């Protein structure tokens, strides 16, 4: 998910790593230095339009390496989050490093995520501008609930529950969509989708050049 700027009632402004507050955490995340930048897939590629396979092998060096690579790839694209199929890997996995509406930074990864179904009484739709690393360039307004709870597993197979509000909730929903073979374009009316694709063709080369420059800054 492309960058855009928990609940505002919370007074704890510490970084949340895997949903847990910590007193300090480096920026960029450690995985950025360890990881290798991978090519970001672009809308129209088959892997972005089908449901990804569940992660079944946990605690492996390969899975840890993939997570590091995803953090590195997300960083050079100045992203908020990225899903595995956006780096051409058919697995239900995404990572995030995002600062929410209240200035709280959230960092983590989740495998096999499932969004809780919110009761109608608690579902408040918010229309906000949304972008995507696999749709380089355009941002379009998409309506999503302002609260999300996602359940899955960490890289070692331990149960994980992540809750988000505001833009972090949007991020969790956006990335879970990816793993079901959907991009935010699928939530747009036909005319808006065509306009977004046209804008992408006009701006993608500028976006790619910016990513190349950012990779050089990070020594990638």
Residues carrying an active site annotation: 175
Task: Tell me the two tokens of residue 124.
Answer: 């408040």
From 76, 100, 73, 105, select the one nearest 89 (Cα to Cα): 73
- The bridge status of strand 81-83 relative to strand 93-99 is antiparallel
What's the rounded Cα separation, in Å, for the pair 154 and 16? 15
Backbone angles phi, psi at 187, to 5 degrees: -100, 5
Q: Exposed e or buried b for every residue in 171-192, given b needs 16+ CB within 10 A?
A: bbbbbbbbbeebbbbebbeeee
Phi and psi at 109, nearest 5°, equal -145, 155
Of the candidates 68, 52, 43, the one whose C-alpha atom is nearest the C-alpha of residue 135 is 43
Q: Where are the beta strands (DSSP E) in the chain?
A: 15-17, 20-22, 81-83, 93-99, 105-115, 125-132, 135-145, 147-153, 159-165
CA 172 to chain centre: 7
Token pair 């100045």 is found at 78
């Amino acid at each position: 998910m492309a960058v855009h700027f928990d609940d505002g009632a919370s007074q704890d402004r510490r970084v949340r790593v895997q949903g847990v507050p910590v007193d300090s955490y480096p920026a960029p995340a450690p995985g950025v230095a360890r990881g290798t930048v991978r090519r970001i897939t672009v809308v129209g590629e088959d892997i972005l339009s089908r449901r990804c396979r569940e992660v079944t092998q946990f605690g492996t060096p390969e899975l840890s390496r993939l997570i590091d690579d995803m953090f590195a790839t997300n960083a050079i694209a100045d992203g908020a989050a990225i899903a595995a199929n956006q780096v051409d890997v058919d697995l239900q996995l995404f990572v995030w490093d995002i600062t929410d509406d209240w200035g709280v930074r959230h960092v983590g990864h989740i495998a096999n995520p499932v969004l809780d179904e919110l009761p109608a009484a608690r579902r408040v739709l918010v229309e906000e501008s949304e972008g995507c690393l696999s749709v380089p360039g355009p941002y379009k307004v998409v309506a999503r609930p302002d609260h999300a709870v996602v359940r899955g597993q960490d890289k070692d197979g331990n149960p994980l529950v992540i809750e988000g509000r505001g833009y972090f909730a949007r991020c969790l929903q956006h990335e879970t969509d990816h793993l079901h073979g959907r991009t935010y374009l699928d939530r747009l009316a036909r005319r808006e989708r065509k306009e977004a694709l046209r804008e992408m063709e006009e701006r993608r080369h500028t976006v790619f050049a910016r990513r190349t420059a950012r990779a050089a800054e990070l020594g990638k």
